[in-house]
Amino acid sequence: MEKQKKILIFILTIGVFGILNTEMGVIGLLPSIAEHFNVSIATAGLTVSLFAIAIAVSGPTMPLLFSGFDRKKVMLLVLGVFVVGNVVSIFIANFTALLIVRIILGLFHPIYCSMAFTAAASSVSREEAPKAVSKVFIGVSAGIVAGVPIASFIDSAFSFELAMVFFAIVNGMVFMATLIFVPSMPVGERLSYGTQFSILRKSIVWISIVTVILLNSAVFGVYSYLADYLNTVTNMSPNAISGTLFIFGGANMIGNIVAGKLLTHSAMKSIVAFPLLLGAIYIVFFFAGQFAVPMALLTFIWGILAGGIMANINQYLIASAAPEAPDFANGLFISACNVGTTLGAAVGGGIISAMGTPYVVLVGILSLSLSLVAILLRNYIMTPKHRLSR
């Protein structure tokens, strides 16, 4: 039984990697996409932005629609859609058609990720659930971190089409592993859509959503412009910038392991401490931004906090606020993260335009300050004394 659980979580981790790889890996292909379809880089970027918008839109709805079906069959469906979508993308000659395929994949993306988190959590005891989910998050981090350089390498060494083949192969391998090794996972008690939607009446759910949006904004409002910051403020070379970004990505994976232990043993203390610690990092970031070695060290610590620990905290915040509807809650988590990323990047860009690149950390500090207020309010609402008085 224990071995089966480990196999299940491993397959879910690789599956999430494949899904995220398809989403993020395209970033490394944008120049080739622009050349292949004879469009500008900005237009080619729609393959990323429209995918993200589709995720934000479908996050709360698609996992809900499929929540009553056997999770194994639904995951096979999504993986099959991704395999077909990636294969079709190889032969598409029209850029609009490519965008349509990307939007379709974006709509199915939250279904797999939501069910992967739910399946991992339900495979162990409630106390061990954060640790199981944190292992699946390693696939998320790997997809974000490794997807871009792997796709870029295949593209430069071989071709754009072969990079898309790589995406299809990864998803195809997970499809076969799921088909062979993952047991049937029927839903024990099928919840009506109305019952699941009813969690939106809970103030704790909305507070948790707002908190997740603010935390994601705090991280990605700064991270979106990290390469520019290292170039213009720290004056790093292109190779040094790539190495520093790699450090951030590797730290993400360490953060996932740490997060599982923290949320299992001291969840509330860890959640309250997070914005304080990251805020301190951003303050030091501002004053040490011109020094390469301190920036590399800060980026490593930042990567542990921002990439691994924050992602797990975000999922925990919403999942623990609505444990009675796990698939819908995970869908809300995915959507809130995308909204936060978009908001943070927009505000960060506005700060850079108005004040300059060194001040982009202000979006992080402001978002963290607001998130701390939201976390404290959430903790107050969650206290037994407050719940009994209502």
Cα Rg of the chain, angstroms: 20
Average pLDDT, integer, range 183-198: 75
Distance of CA 55 to the CA centre of its chain: 11
Give the model's pLDDT for residue 189.
67
pTM here? 0.78
Which residues lie below 8 Å from residue 38, measured CB to CB, with a gap of 6+?
Answer: none
- The C-alpha atoms of residue 347 and residue 58 are separated, in whole angstroms, by 24
- Assign 388 a pLDDT band (cuts: 50, 70, 90): very low
Which residues lie below 8 Å from residue 355, measured CB to CB, with a gap of 6+?
Answer: 362
pLDDT higher than 70, residue 190:
no
Return the DSSP state at 189. Answer: S
- The C-alpha atoms of residue 329 and residue 200 are separated, in whole angstroms, by 10
Compute how many other C-beta atoms are within 10 angstroms of the C-beta atom of residue 203.
12
Give the model's pLDDT for residue 389.
41
Say if CB 64 and CB 196 are below 8 A apart: yes
Higher pLDDT, 372 or 325: 372
Single out the residue of 362, 361, 369, 363 nearest to residue 276, CA to CA: 369
Compute how many other C-beta atoms are within 10 angstroms of the C-beta atom of residue 220.
25
Q: Which domains does the chain have, with CATH numbers?
A: 2-190 (1.20.1250.20), 194-388 (1.20.1250.20)
DSSP structure string for 301-330: HHIIIIIIIHHHHHHHHHHHH-TTSHHHHH
What would the pLDDT profile of 134-188 be if each residue is shown by its tens digit? 888 777 777 766 776 777 778 878 887 888 898 899 999 999 999 998 888 887 6
pLDDT higher than 70, residue 386:
no
Say if CB 256 and CB 137 are below 8 A apart: yes
Give me the percent of the chain exceeding a pLDDT of 70.
95
Using CA atoms of 141, 182, 126, 117 in order, give the dihedral in degrees to the nearest 10.
Answer: 30
What would the pLDDT profile of 367-376 be if each residue is shown by its tens digit? 999 999 999 9
